[in-house]
A = this chain, B = another copy of it.
Amino acid sequence: MKMLDFFLGRRLANREQQEQKIGWFEGVPAMGLDGLGSSSYGPEAALTVLVPLGAASIAWIGWVIAPIILLLAILYLSYRQTIVAYPNNGGAYTVAKENLGSTAALLAAAALMIDYVLNVAVGISAGVGALTSSVPALQPWTLTLCLLVLAVVALANLRGTREAGWLFALPTYLFLASFLGLTGWGLLRLLTGRADPVLSPPTLHQAVAGASLWLLLRAFAAGCTAMTGVEAVSNGVGAFREPVVGHAHRTLTVICAALGLLLAGIAALAHGYHLGAMDQTQPGYQSVLSQLAGAVAGRGAVYYVSMASVLAVLCLSANTSFVGFPRLCRLVALDDYLPRAFAVADRRLVFSAGVIFLTVTGGGLLILFGGITDRLIPLFAVGAFLTFTMSQAGMVAHWRREGRRHWHRLAINAVGAATTIVALVIIVAAKFVDGAWIVIFAIPATMSLLFATHRYYARLNRRLETTAPFRIQETQPPTVLVAYEARNRMTDRALRFAMTLSPDVIAVHLVRLGGPEQKEDIAATKAAFDRDICCPMRETGVTPPRLVAVPAPYREIQGPILDFVDKIDAETPGRSVAILIPELVLRHWWERLLHSRRAARLRTALLAHAGPRLMVVSSPWRD
């Protein structure tokens, strides 16, 4: 337990729940890493789609980013309303459940779960990918580095949100400060005419195609990955301290404003400084953010600090999933759609089943895809936008029920629902062949698992439920069987216990020998039992227990004991049967090697047998 304390921190009491809650300043790193980090790959993904347009892509990027920023603004307004309406936990699951019913809620939950798992894999692999492209020597260790980052993030989250939030604050605010600063400085230089595009557009080939609506839509779909993670705040409202709504709003505002500014700034600077997407598989590749930082600030200290913050933010953007996923799973588990372990707070008040599940599945995805981001990206954003739509649609239903005076709120959420569903259709259409089909398949599969879990618990509850008044049919003491090999202190105590439970005690002696030795063994044991146990008892006027020899010709004791239990059970209808098993308590792990643990195995077999009137009594013994 000392080791657990070291790694996970001391056990926290329920009353410390309050102290574990976070404010907006910790909320931005805890819930915004995903949203902010995606600004580094969203615009780049859009520009990559536009590459066939050649230099014209720079002219078109504004037309792609503008609707994304508009969509972000709509989402911002919508989610502000969600937080007010659901100040406890306004995730898509809760909103859809309360307004659209459980099937819609599970659709949202499945989509969100898949997106969270993908975000872990994408965030970490993108971060490690950026690192290895800066330091090519690390290339062979890509997967190892991914799993290492995953382990650090998982451990930090097992310690609890607050400490994890602080751990992630530095790179987040460093990233915000440097890139907002760079963007502002760059725009200032552009406006004062002092911008010199030091990096002439390096990979803008001749145009090989004209701008088509389909191409622009595909660029839009790719750019939409920049918006993943915006829902994290509404999902994690429960983590904020009082005033909850204020902290949540401020967190959402910081995240959305920063993201919007970054997107707009990148679009504007792409124009002025002629930034463009480069091919990641070619040597000399530079990401768009790297081009931007280099063009504005030159390759000095500012450039390197900024790039380090990008790496850190990307690597740690997985953290958003670690905050949201366990909370979502807890809500779903409380409704009996997931195993109950997901709803149990651990020693650090963390829902560790969710953290561990996310670590294992995220790690599995990383291993499966070798830590390569490119293969994961097309799966991304489908889940996020499906979640947006479900959440907004739920809010529309919410405001309809609330009555007429909320028509303007209803309108905002309706616009949100309509725009996100359009974006979702575009994303699915544009990415279907590249991998979105996997998600389209995984969502109903996940839903059917959730439904199956719910059916299991429902059936179990029906079996357990009782409304009939409690009745005692029988208060006669049970027949008590005592597992007996040879007399020692342990069996002595077991017999004494048995006599306190019932006057009807039978010592069961299992004979595992065969042939003439069997008879000898039985006779010797009976004689000793009579001499050492029965005689002293008769002298004090107590009815002594009987000794019954049960042969075990196949050397396994469970079968004969179970048969004997059934026989006793049939002989004494209505009375219960208790089997008392003396058990030696081991004090060191290595003692397990020295004992065959027959008592424990017999107990397990009897528990599995579970006759309707069977009790299994263990009397642990140590000197």
Contacts and interface: CB of A to CB of B under 8 A. Distances in A.
Contacts of A618: 603, 607, 615-618
Contacts of A492: 466, 470
B619 A615 contact: yes
Nearest to A341: B596
A198 B81 CA distance: 99
Contacts of A473: 496
A554 B596 contact: no
Contacts of A460: 584
Given A11-B554, A463-B623, A594 B472 contact: no
Given A453-B594, A555-B14, A540 B501 contact: no
A209 to B, nearest CB: 52
Interface stretch (A58-66, A232-240, A482-490): A482-490
Contacts of A469: 532, 535-536
B596 A583 contact: no
A499 interface: yes
A476 B500 CA distance: 6
Contacts of A606: 620
A460 B595 CA distance: 11
A359 B343 CA distance: 44
A608 interface: yes
Contacts of A472: 496, 499, 537, 540, 542
B488 A466 contact: yes
A610 interface: yes
A615 B469 CA distance: 29
Interface in A520-549: 532-533, 535-537, 540, 542
Contacts of A499: 472, 475
A247 interface: no
Interface in A567-623: 575-576, 578, 580, 583-585, 591, 593-596, 603, 606-610, 614-623
B489 A475 contact: no
The listed residue with most B CB atoms (<10 A of its CB), out of A470, A478, A496, A540, is: A470
Given A554-B11, A607-B618, A464 B478 contact: no
Copies of this protein in the assembly total: 2
Contacts of A540: 471-472
A488 B464 CA distance: 5
A515 interface: yes
A347 interface: yes
B514 A470 contact: no
Interface in A154-169: none
A536 B470 CA distance: 6
A13 interface: yes
A304 interface: no
Centre residue among A14, A553, A609, A623 by max chain B CB count within 10 A: A14
B453 A470 contact: no
A340 interface: yes
Contacts of A610: 585, 620-622
Nearest to A535: B469
Nearest to A592: B339
Given A466-B492, A496-B473, A617 B617 contact: yes
Given A474-B500, A596-B344, A15 B622 contact: no
A622 B478 CA distance: 20
Nearest to A457: B594
Interface in A442-487: 453, 456-457, 460, 463-466, 469-478, 487
Contacts of A512: 14
Interface in A124-164: none
B585 A607 contact: yes
A593 B502 CA distance: 38
Nearest to A462: B623
Contacts of A17: 514
A308 B364 CA distance: 46
A35 to B, nearest CB: 32
A425 interface: no
B585 A608 contact: yes
B620 A576 contact: no
Nearest to A559: B11
Interface string A13-37: 1110100000000000000000000
Nearest to A471: B536
Given A488-B465, A596-B341, A495 B470 contact: yes
Contacts of A437: none
B615 A617 contact: yes
Given A594-B456, A617-B616, A470 B500 contact: no
Nearest to A487: B466
A497 interface: yes
Nearest to A511: B14
A490 B478 contact: no
A501 to B, nearest CB: 5
Contact of A620 (B488, B616, B620, B623): B616
B477 A489 contact: no
Nearest to A338: B594
Given A456-B594, A460-B584, A471-B540, 12 more contacts: A13-B553, A14-B555, A456-B591, A457-B594, A470-B532, A472-B540, A474-B496, A475-B542, A478-B497, A500-B575, A585-B608, A585-B610
Top 10 A-B pairs ranked by shortest CB distance? Answer: A14-B514, A610-B620, A464-B488, A469-B536, A585-B610, A463-B623, A607-B620, A470-B533, A616-B618, A339-B594
11 contacts: A14-B514, A14-B555, A340-B596, A464-B490, A470-B536, A472-B542, A477-B500, A500-B576, A603-B618, A607-B618, A616-B619
